[in-house]
Structure 1
């Protein structure tokens, strides 16, 4: 058959008129490899197909790729091409030598609706292509990539710097992704170094003073939360300027503000009330990766709702604040939109997903609502931007059951009857409630809780087992004391018992009960009870479930970590319940933290192997307690990475600290300033006391190392630090930041940073001069005595720290030859030589006279 394929003509007889089986259209096959020269074991992409394109996106040619290895072994691979007529095949050669490549197609009829494309297409085979495979470890090199930044950086980042994605995370919603506080893709700060600060633009902040004495301006706790709904998209911080009240829906007209996360610069503001109504506010962000046959890339949006439960959603362009498009009746055409507490999840491509139970006469169905399908429809689109954008008013997409906009009926999952204690026991009786937790494309978890115990069920959302029950009505009998508990256990909506956190790595769910202060942990893989923790102290009873005011627990890196009202951070092995470590957020002073001697500890987020905590309280006393800590703990050991007291007090009813692009953004309730915390730029100078000196002459090398973060450009700081703000050591950073940004007393034990000084001579050989540490003013110096005459470049290098990126400076010096030494003077004085000469002359006369007398 292979030999017969060689004799098939590559070109059929051309005929522009009607094509028949005996008179087909001409075909133009091709085959090639990338690269054409590779090494044994190196992946090669073989492209093949026809240059004849097809009409519809799902059409394709059935092509056969023939690979003949150097020993003559034949391998045939059949693939359907894309509509462009091309297809690729990944191949790994295992032998050294030349491989022969061919592509062929049999006589084919294409039943296109286009008359110009419809008809028979000639059988064809390509000419031979050669893939040369070399041995001896030859590999055509891959692109070397790029290292992570070693200097201060801002957005946008060139898309060729692929490796940088690991430090460029975004923060999409109040609870981050899918209800957890885990924030990957960040190089989380290891010091309290502040990049910038700016007023929150909501209310006057800080100490009221004067007649108000020690009282401060209100900060929003309780019930009037500031900074709520803040998110970070592509290096920009977005937040609602006006407070969000739990007691009055129309508390204030809302303004949306955008700040550059790297610099603190305000980029734009948007009056949401005038555009979308008095109760409109930012609720979340989104980055959607759209992949189609021809259009690929990420699209970013901010989402505004008119009310927390509003079913109309407005998409805002994060770059400009432009209203792009609208979705109405989102999530449930029958239920009228998002109900209170309904979760919005994010799929693997950033699509927003919600899950709803639809109960009807035939049973209970689990339905997945996909925001992308609301725009695309079930048939999909080849381009995204042209679909959502239009000239004039923004396009409106109406979720509609009849048109199936937002979901695919074929993906509805019929749940079994008698599903748990709330299952369907007949037509439309005891309807199933919505899932408690969903892991998109994995599983949906259903729970029912009462004083007798907890029922757990799970349905698969995995493509290979979609719709199958993983476990059904798994029951755990609760201890008898549950009869006296409140909250979810007894149906008391004012209680604080309930599900606290969920994780899919490992599959664990944590149920918290308030009065007895116990965690009950369940496997979400099997639905079985795993363990319960020891009762915690009384003060821990004021939190623990998923709410704005509670110190949520978090599961990350295989650990269950929880804050507490008693101020003790506790870490368990999430799977076994083994105690791993604890940390006391101790208050060193009397009467500041007034519940216990520790500060009430709330989790902000987990990132880069560290868990970050702050302090807040439901209704803080006035004047506010001083010295509230913000701190980072090592997830593995519980050791303090850094802590600053009195800088970033958190909100209970508003938004807490979030992170993106490796920078923390937080609102401080002490002064109502928003702070950016992260690694900043530095600047080094160096000078030489005598840049033209002779060899053997000692010179003084001196310079400065300064913090040049963007927030230091403020006039008020420049007036205080006319010569600049010194860079200081990581261990001095917390006290130093309180001094620079909050006017605390200047610390007297501030340490500087290490500077390496070296020279480079005319032969480009470098030599060490010394390592010095700058002082609290940012100055450093050392002495050096050059030995050889030459032109020398003197470098001062700061290699960076946890707080700063490194920097360096250079100064030039000319070293001259040492002058010739002066003649060594005779140590005998001149007058002594005169006396000696006179003496010698007298002696000579005496001798002459003596000799004369003897002769005579």
Structure 2
């Protein structure tokens, strides 16, 4: 099947061809000659050539000039001659505004095909445009298919930004995180990033203090520094674009101070802007005749100044413009990344859709309006943002009057349906909660239902919108109710939560056809969205006397209700993993101990890993989790980091038959603990807590495997052995090895990496010299016996002389004595 990258149903190649023609042909003018006969010239091109049988050929026909204003070249036909000589005619076709068009053709036979474009002539106004015929285009069709451009496999190793634009497949793992709960604001936001991997181990890349944190000390005993919960969060909403982390900073406890931009992988601060605050990020993909691609922005949606939106450049942090007379609402992004806002005025009973692109256009910031570009399905002109103050109200796409109950407020939207709610109290005091669905494209009311509830604050019981449903939590019954977003019909209700702590808010996320629910009692449950069946339940464990909940609560505000109040959340999903963290609305000091960040398998409910920390407001992008730890007020970045391996061997030659020691280290090169030993996943939590949280050094730490290979003197490549490092000895490994041949060996050490570290390799050289010359051969047993017999005979033959000599010595001694 042919693979074409498409934009709004039109292939990128087709748009490129036509836009190239636009540039060249718009400069051509036709003299306004009365009743003239004007020659035309017709051209034809195709790709690919050659092509395989049953592959799709793209044929483009082009006139040498565009048709007169308001007209089109008509009745163009394409004559196709097949290899057996038969012909067929395609068309008639009409050109676009610039005088070209295309068709697709699938050849069924091997051989030569010929294509020729024909124009019969046409009268437009008082002028007659003469017939023309293109040359015959020969296309070779072969049995073997023509290969498509090779795809780039997804990385499994450590990778960096920017990503080469040719690696299109990597879009599936490089999604951004544009606001507090992924890419949408509001009570029913859904903290699920489907376009990223997520850490498979609690490896820390870096930490960064954001304020004084941890224990105060001295006379304050067990009290710690203020962590900002819940309405003065010290860094949210978190934004991640292009591997950069953006967060707000505070001056003291409540004042906004500025915005920091930090590299996700290194923690390096790239810039900081004083007297600035952000609400969300945006990547806007703009397509015009001469502009193609994404542009990244940051928005302040009326936080620093009421009723004023401020737009900043995401690369530098510099202010671009501001919009006055602004209203706040429910924000999300359109199909091209345009910022949309649904604003509902309950008192005046109207709702509007505001569009950032419409606002730019109507304020004169999109110039050179081109009918050609509009017909191509791209924006009409050049985006030319200028510094200044502009009118927000010029961005309204539609304004509709709403019906239904009074007091309505928007809960959330998925871009197709806007969900609103209102509380209705009957004369008898019965509370009903109205759910209203509006068409997000037109504002038309689609459905309305009234549900009887007993909650005193029903608007806060809306949880999540996702995968065509929305979720409502009923405190009185400890249940979650799931409804069809497009009809308002109830689908199912969950079983009651496992503890009565479910009477408080719950955290919910919809992903992978499942509803994930986290609660104050420390439980996480997963339900099938189609059947309502509970798939699994995870319990974070008993906290004993440490917390009032009997466990560690999983709590969040489920989304920001306005740009001034940032969300606090503790449950996010990515890469088929559910991440939960300890949190609470307004925790008292001292903070209870034992909080953890926990990764759970989204399919089984089994714990994958956990690490100590009150890690709140986690954001996931580029394969990293960024979170703020209330225990020490530091930002933590978790994910895969770079590694290094070293290898050494004797620097002088060794003789054949000798044993050499190959040794080296495998070290973590992440900025947070550069030069420390790499450790196995099962030891990662304790090791990171030792390095970053001052916990005791673990008694046992498992190392990582290193594979050793040798390139022999004859050039052959052979596996030697696999050894394991010892982190408590500095990450060292070693192997005693006897090279079997003379010559020079290249020794290669390979650490393949894992879920915590990228791979690394290193090499060294061993030279083996000939063995030293052999010494005298040792005597055999027979030779030893023969020599012994000879010696014995010699001794026996000398025996009389020995006796005589002994007598003489005795006489001499006697004479001497006398």
Q: TM-score, normalised by structure 2?
A: 0.82
**Equivalent of 1:207 in 206, 209, 215:** 215
Structure 1 residues 835 and 510 mapped into 2: Cα distance closer, same or farther (>3 Å)?
Answer: closer
Quick check: 1:197–1:675 contact (8 Å CA) kept in 2?
yes
SS in 2 for 1:191: coil
Alignment of 1:316-355 (within 5 A): 316-330=312-326, 337-338=327-328, 342-355=329-342
The answer to whether residue 31 in structure 2 is matched with residue 31 in structure 1 is no
Alignment deviations for residues 753-809 of structure 1 (CA, whole Å, 9 cap, x no partner): 011111112343222211111112211111111212232111111111110011111
Quick check: 2:642–2:669 contact (8 Å CA) kept in 1?
yes
| Alignment partner, residue 816 of structure 1 | 769
| Alignment partner, residue 358 of structure 2 | 373
| Alignment partner, residue 257 of structure 1 | 260
**Equivalent of 1:91 in 102, 105, 118:** 105
Structure 1 residues 834 and 15 mapped into 2: Cα distance closer, same or farther (>3 Å)?
Answer: closer
Alignment deviations for residues 276-322 of structure 1 (CA, whole Å, 9 cap, x no partner): xxxxx210000001112331100100001342893321111111111
The answer to whether residue 458 in structure 2 is matched with residue 488 in structure 1 is yes
Distance 1:433 1:21 in 2: 65
| CA shift for structure 1 position 144 | 1.5
Distance 2:223 2:367 in 1: 59
Quick check: 1:292–1:381 contact (8 Å CA) kept in 2?
no
Alignment of 1:397-796 (within 5 A): 397-400=390-393, 405-408=394-397, 419-420=403-404, 422=405, 433=408, 435-440=410-415, 442-450=416-424, 451=430, 453-460=432-439, 471-475=446-450, 477-478=451-452, 482-483=453-454, 485-488=455-458, 497-503=460-466, 505=467, 507-536=468-497, 537-544=499-506, 552-587=507-542, 590-600=544-554, 603-645=570-612, 647=613, 649-651=614-616, 656-689=617-650, 692-712=653-673, 724-776=675-727, 777-796=730-749
Quick check: 2:352–2:400 contact (8 Å CA) kept in 1?
yes
| CA shift for structure 1 position 571 | 1.0
| CA shift for structure 1 position 831 | 6.5
Structure 1 residues 696 and 599 mapped into 2: Cα distance closer, same or farther (>3 Å)?
Answer: farther
The answer to whether residue 14 in structure 2 is matched with residue 44 in structure 1 is no
Structure 1 residues 222 and 458 mapped into 2: Cα distance closer, same or farther (>3 Å)?
Answer: closer
SS in 2 for 1:738: helix
| Alignment partner, residue 5 of structure 1 | none
Quick check: 1:256–1:270 contact (8 Å CA) kept in 2?
yes
Distance 1:635 1:16 in 2: 65
Quick check: 1:107–1:120 contact (8 Å CA) kept in 2?
yes
| CA shift for structure 1 position 601 | 5.3
Greater shift, 286-295 or 797-806, is seen at: 286-295
Structure 1 residues 48 and 193 mapped into 2: Cα distance closer, same or farther (>3 Å)?
Answer: same
| CA shift for structure 1 position 609 | 0.5
Quick check: 1:599–1:629 contact (8 Å CA) kept in 2?
no
| CA shift for structure 1 position 566 | 0.5
Structure 1 residues 473 and 797 mapped into 2: Cα distance closer, same or farther (>3 Å)?
Answer: same
| Alignment partner, residue 155 of structure 1 | 161
| Alignment partner, residue 4 of structure 1 | none
Alignment deviations for residues 464-490 of structure 1 (CA, whole Å, 9 cap, x no partner): xx7776x53345x53xxx34x32127x
The answer to whether residue 76 in structure 2 is matched with residue 64 in structure 1 is yes
Quick check: 1:48–1:65 contact (8 Å CA) kept in 2?
no
Distance 1:730 1:794 in 2: 27
| Alignment partner, residue 77 of structure 1 | 91
Distance 1:189 1:840 in 2: 91
The answer to whether residue 282 in structure 2 is matched with residue 286 in structure 1 is yes
The answer to whether residue 294 in structure 2 is matched with residue 298 in structure 1 is yes
| CA shift for structure 1 position 59 | 7.1
Quick check: 1:682–1:707 contact (8 Å CA) kept in 2?
yes
Quick check: 1:679–1:804 contact (8 Å CA) kept in 2?
yes
Quick check: 1:181–1:554 contact (8 Å CA) kept in 2?
yes
| CA shift for structure 1 position 414 | 7.3
Structure 1 residues 50 and 567 mapped into 2: Cα distance closer, same or farther (>3 Å)?
Answer: same
Quick check: 2:248–2:256 contact (8 Å CA) kept in 1?
no
Distance 1:303 1:29 in 2: 49
| Alignment partner, residue 7 of structure 2 | none
SS in 2 for 1:225: coil
SS in 1 for 2:321: strand
| Alignment partner, residue 548 of structure 1 | none
Q: TM-score, normalised by structure 1?
A: 0.79
**Equivalent of 2:388 in 378, 384, 395:** 395
Structure 1 residues 23 and 580 mapped into 2: Cα distance closer, same or farther (>3 Å)?
Answer: same
Segments of structure 2 that go 5 or more residues without pairing to the other structure are 1-27, 369-378, 425-429, 557-569, 799-818
Structure 1 residues 82 and 17 mapped into 2: Cα distance closer, same or farther (>3 Å)?
Answer: closer
SS in 2 for 1:540: helix
The answer to whether residue 195 in structure 2 is matched with residue 185 in structure 1 is yes
Distance 2:345 2:109 in 1: 58
Alignment deviations for residues 574-623 of structure 1 (CA, whole Å, 9 cap, x no partner): 22211111111114x53322322344455331101111110111222322
Alignment deviations for residues 38-95 of structure 1 (CA, whole Å, 9 cap, x no partner): 0012222222111314687x97544635151334241413554454433333333233
| CA shift for structure 1 position 357 | 5.2
| Alignment partner, residue 131 of structure 2 | 123
Distance 1:601 1:620 in 2: 11
| Alignment partner, residue 809 of structure 2 | none
| CA shift for structure 1 position 434 | 5.5
The answer to whether residue 119 in structure 2 is matched with residue 105 in structure 1 is yes
Segments of structure 1 that go 5 or more residues without pairing to the other structure are 1-13, 112-117, 246-250, 274-280, 331-336, 423-429, 490-496, 545-551, 714-723, 843-856
SS in 2 for 1:254: strand
**Equivalent of 1:168 in 171, 174, 191:** 174
CA-based RMSD of the aligned residues comes to 3.2
| CA shift for structure 1 position 345 | 1.2
SS in 1 for 2:754: coil
Distance 2:490 2:31 in 1: 74
SS in 1 for 2:37: coil
